[in-house]
């Protein structure tokens, strides 16, 4: 429906009621609540409109406007121009409308001024409630818009009260909650204490935005360093990773692309002044500042400081690092209750397995002997050839079957015929083993849906069968770590385990609409 925009100035002899003090009130409320003046005046218009409709009848389209310059209140009734009137309260014929406005057209609105209303006690109370409700809604909306953009920042606040271990904080224009689990242990605050907190999340709620605060989040410490170290704030030094055991110990990895800048020294500061400021804020939490390195092995060695590492072996497929240390460095590398290696693992993103040099040598010898026996039995070769293959780093028959043929020719003592024969035997053995595994699974009643699930090889299926996993639902009920334990961590990574479990659960979501 086309309609003209209605303006109080265009209403001819519309009755006006001067409310000059309304603009003063609107300005004061807008300034006090930090919201837009237009929103306050809009709330006043809705409140007066509600009272006017109650007086003149809700069947009429009664509207109210307040002049933004003079504060005058205009009350008028809107009528739609039609050819034939079916509802005289909201409609008017074209001929009658053109007597008031010769340029009016069908489907447009024409206004009819109404006498100003006098507010009684009930109407005034109702109007006041509407205004306050709209003002509160606008205030909450502004609070949410302000603080949602500050997620990930540090703010100062006053402790307002403590409820069941949770701290309610006054952040200035809003309240935030610092939950017990987001507080550092042994940390106690009293009403009126001013503390720094990290804005973890902001959620819109009916009573206003819920601002979730934290002092245990790793980024809280990163932001503290950003405040204390100008080079971090300026981008000269970059914080690559942070790991924390809140209230006890933390590790932070820093890096600078400028070779003339020592990132660790800059974060420590003169006589440790900068890092000490962070430690004091974190209630004495010990902070290890680690130089970040693009090479994973170097980064892991740095992250395990102060322990000295003798050897590092990286398995990129499994995202795992085997670290060998001297006997007297073992307890230092592991740390109290495994704290040092746990934080190093969180910092680097690699699973770290620490052992002594003697244990690493014994483990390496055992793996070498196991691979030798495997190659001798599966390939039907003598011990010398099997040992040579194991010594060259081949860990499985799959590697032998898939390695480029030219790799074999580089091995000492291998000619083209021997290389071809070894690869052929490896592929034949794997094919036979896979066929036997699939046949065994089908005979045991394993579902075809599980057997054909993309990403599960026959060796994995055989391991699942040993543990009574025969259907997609059986697999879907597993957690990723359980799945890895059943099939063997050497066969599957955590990411691949999660992917397969989600694939097994996909039919649940496909069936849900039909069941509903």
User: Residue 177: inside a domain, yes or no?
Assistant: yes
323/325 Cα distance (integer angstroms): 7
Q: Return the SS3 of 253.
A: strand
Domain ranges, residue 15 = 8-140
231/364 Cα distance (integer angstroms): 45
Domain check: are 441 and 489 in the same one?
yes
* Residue 353: partners with Cβ closer than 8 Å, 6 or more residues away: 320, 321, 322, 323
Domain check: are 405 and 475 in the same one?
yes
According to the model, what pLDDT value does residue 118 have? Answer: 67
Domain check: are 461 and 484 in the same one?
yes
Of 171, 201, 216, the last residue of a domain is: 216
According to the model, what pLDDT value does residue 17 have? Answer: 39
According to the model, what pLDDT value does residue 242 have? Answer: 94
What's the chain's average pLDDT?
Answer: 81
Region of poorest pLDDT, from 22-31, 64-73, 371-380: 22-31
User: Residue 226: inside a domain, yes or no?
Assistant: no
153/373 Cα distance (integer angstroms): 58
164/459 Cα distance (integer angstroms): 53
User: Residue 283: inside a domain, yes or no?
Assistant: no
How are beta strands 210-214 and 175-178 bridged, if at all? Answer: parallel
User: Residue 233: inside a domain, yes or no?
Assistant: no
According to the model, what pLDDT value does residue 111 have? Answer: 78
According to the model, what pLDDT value does residue 255 have? Answer: 93
Strands (E), 274-398: 286-291, 309-315, 320-325, 351-356
**Total count of domains within the chain:** 4
Angle of the 480-487 helix axis to the 494-515 helix axis, nearest 10 = 120
Q: Which pLDDT band holds residue 510 (cuts at 50, 70, 90)?
A: low
- Give the torsion sign (CA, 365, 371, 377, 381): negative
Partners of 287 in the β-ladder = 250
The three-state (H, E, C) secondary structure of 455-467, written as one string: CCCHHHHHHHHHC
Domain check: are 414 and 454 in the same one?
yes
157/147 Cα distance (integer angstroms): 14
In degrees, rounded to 5, the angle at the alpha carbon of residue 68 between the alpha carbons of residues 66 and 70 is 85
Report field, pTM of the whole predicted structure over 0.75: no
Q: First vs last Cα of the chain: how many Å apart?
A: 40
According to the model, what pLDDT value does residue 489 have? Answer: 66
Domain check: are 115 and 156 in the same one?
no
For the sheet containing 309-315, what is the strand order? 309-315, 320-325, 351-356
According to the model, what pLDDT value does residue 222 have? Answer: 92
Q: Which residues of 385-401 are buried (b: 16+ CB within 10 A; e: fewer)?
A: bbbbbbeeebebbeebb
Domain check: are 75 and 132 in the same one?
yes
Name the percent of the chain lying above pLDDT 70: 89
325: domain CATH number is 3.30.300.20
Domain check: are 15 and 82 in the same one?
yes
Domain check: are 124 and 200 in the same one?
no
In degrees, rounded to 5, the angle at the alpha carbon of residue 15 between the alpha carbons of residues 14 and 21 is 120
231/256 Cα distance (integer angstroms): 9
Domain check: are 376 and 402 in the same one?
no
Q: Which residues of 353-369 are buried (b: 16+ CB within 10 A; e: fewer)?
A: bbbbeeebeeeeeeeee
Q: Which pLDDT band holds residue 14 (cuts at 50, 70, 90)?
A: very low
104/88 Cα distance (integer angstroms): 18
Q: Which pLDDT band holds residue 1 (cuts at 50, 70, 90)?
A: very low
The better pLDDT of the pair 2, 478 is held by 478
Q: Which residues of 243-274 are buried (b: 16+ CB within 10 A; e: fewer)?
A: bbbbbbbbbbbbbbeeeeeebbebbbeeeeeb
Q: Which pLDDT band holds residue 39 (cuts at 50, 70, 90)?
A: confident
Q: Return the SS3 of 240.
A: strand
The pLDDT tens digits for 85-141 are 788 888 888 877 777 778 888 888 877 788 776 655 555 566 666 667 767 777 777
| pLDDT at 26 > cutoff 80 | no
Contact indicator for 183, 198 with CB cutoff of 8 Å: no
Both structure tokens of 400: 């032998």
Centre a 10 Å sphere on the Cβ of residue 182 and count the other Cβ atoms it contains.
Answer: 20
Provide DSSP, 419-487. HHHHHHHHHHHHHHHHHHHHHHHHHTT--HHHHT-TT--HHHHHHHHHTT--SHHHHHTS-HHHHHHHH
The better pLDDT of the pair 217, 319 is held by 217
User: Residue 266: inside a domain, yes or no?
Assistant: no
Mean pLDDT of 385-406: 77
Region of poorest pLDDT, from 172-176, 261-265, 271-275: 172-176
443/150 Cα distance (integer angstroms): 60
User: Residue 279: inside a domain, yes or no?
Assistant: no
Domain check: are 336 and 425 in the same one?
no
Name the percent of the chain lying above pLDDT 90: 16
Rg (CA), the chain: 37
CA–centroid distance for 368 within its chain: 44
42: domain CATH number is 3.30.1480.10
Of 80, 114, 140, the last residue of a domain is: 140
According to the model, what pLDDT value does residue 344 have? Answer: 92
Q: How many residues does the chain have?
A: 516
Q: Which pLDDT band holds residue 413 (cuts at 50, 70, 90)?
A: low
DSSP 8-state code for residue 228 = H
The pLDDT tens digits for 328-377 are 888 888 888 889 999 999 999 988 988 888 888 888 888 888 888 888 88
The residue among 306, 397, 375 whose CA lies nearest residue 343 is 306
Best-predicted range by mean pLDDT (167-176, 191-200, 430-439): 191-200
The pLDDT tens digits for 427-482 are 888 888 888 888 888 888 888 888 888 888 888 888 888 888 888 888 888 888 88
Q: Return the SS3 of 245.
A: strand
Domain check: are 26 and 77 in the same one?
yes
Q: Tell whether omega for the bond before 101 is within 30 degrees of 0, i.e. cis.
A: no
Of 195, 216, 237, the last residue of a domain is: 216
Domain check: are 129 and 172 in the same one?
no
User: Residue 243: inside a domain, yes or no?
Assistant: no
How are beta strands 249-256 and 286-291 bridged, if at all? Answer: parallel
| pLDDT at 251 > cutoff 90 | yes
Contact indicator for 109, 97 with CB cutoff of 8 Å: no
User: Residue 74: inside a domain, yes or no?
Assistant: yes
Q: Return the SS3 of 108.
A: coil
């Amino acid at each position: 429906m086309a309609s003209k925009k209605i303006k109080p100035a265009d209403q001819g002899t519309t009755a006006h009621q001067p409310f000059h003090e309304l603009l003063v009130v609107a300005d004061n409320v807008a300034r006090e609540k930090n919201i837009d003046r237009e929103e306050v005046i809009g709330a006043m218009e809705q409140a007066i409109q509600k009272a006017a409709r109650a007086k003149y009848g809700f069947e009429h389209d009664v509207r109210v406007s307040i002049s933004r310059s003079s504060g005058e209140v205009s009350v008028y009734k809107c009528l739609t121009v039609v050819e034939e009137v079916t509802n005289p309260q909201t409609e008017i014929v074209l001929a009658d409308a053109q007597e008031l406005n010769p340029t009016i057209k069908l489907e447009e609105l024409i206004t009819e001024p109404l006498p100003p209303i006098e507010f009684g006690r009930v109407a005034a109370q109702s109007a006041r409630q509407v205004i306050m409700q709209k003002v509160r809604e606008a205030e909450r909306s502004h609070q949410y818009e302000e603080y949602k953009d500050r997620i990930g920042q540090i703010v100062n606040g006053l402790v307002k009260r403590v409820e069941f271990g949770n701290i309610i904080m006054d952040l200035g224009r809003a309240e935030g909650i610092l939950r017990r689990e987001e507080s550092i242990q042994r940390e106690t605050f009293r009403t009126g204490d001013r503390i720094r907190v990290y804005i973890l999340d902001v959620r819109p709620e009916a009573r206003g935005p819920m601002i979730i605060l934290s002092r245990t989040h790793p980024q809280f410490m990163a932001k503290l360093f950003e405040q204390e170290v100008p080079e971090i704030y300026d981008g000269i030094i970059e914080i690559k990773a942070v790991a924390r055991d809140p209230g006890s110990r933390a590790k932070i990895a820093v890096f600078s692309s400028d070779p003339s800048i020592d990132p660790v020294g800059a974060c420590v500061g003169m006589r440790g002044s900068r890092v000490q400021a962070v430690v004091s804020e974190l209630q004495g939490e010990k902070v290890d500042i680690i130089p970040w390195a693009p090479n994973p092995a170097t980064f892991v060695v740095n992250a395990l400081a102060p322990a000295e590492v003798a050897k590092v072996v990286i398995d990129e497929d499994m995202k795992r690092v085997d670290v060998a240390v001297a006997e007297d460095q073992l307890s230092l590398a592991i740390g109290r209750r495994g704290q040092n290696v746990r934080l190093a693992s969180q910092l680097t993103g690699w699973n770290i397995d620490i052992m002594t040099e003697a244990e690493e040598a014994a483990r390496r010898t055992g793996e070498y002997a196991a691979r030798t026996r495997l190659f001798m039995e599966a390939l039907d070769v003598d011990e010398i050839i099997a040992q040579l293959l194991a010594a060259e780093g081949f860990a499985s028959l799959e590697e032998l079957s898939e390695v480029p043929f030219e790799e074999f020719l580089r091995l000492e003592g291998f000619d083209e015929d021997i290389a071809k024969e070894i690869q052929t035997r490896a592929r034949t053995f794997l094919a036979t083993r896979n066929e036997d595994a699939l046949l065994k699974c089908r005979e045991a009643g394993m579902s075809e849906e599980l057997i054909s699930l993309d990403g599960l090889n026959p060796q994995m299926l055989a391991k699942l069968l040993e543990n009574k996993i025969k259907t997609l639902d059986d697999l879907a009920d597993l957690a990723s770590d359980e799945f890895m334990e059943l099939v063997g961590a050497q066969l599957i990574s955590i990411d691949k385990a999660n992917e397969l479990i989600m694939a097994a659960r996909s039919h649940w979501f496909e069936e849900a609409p039909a069941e509903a």
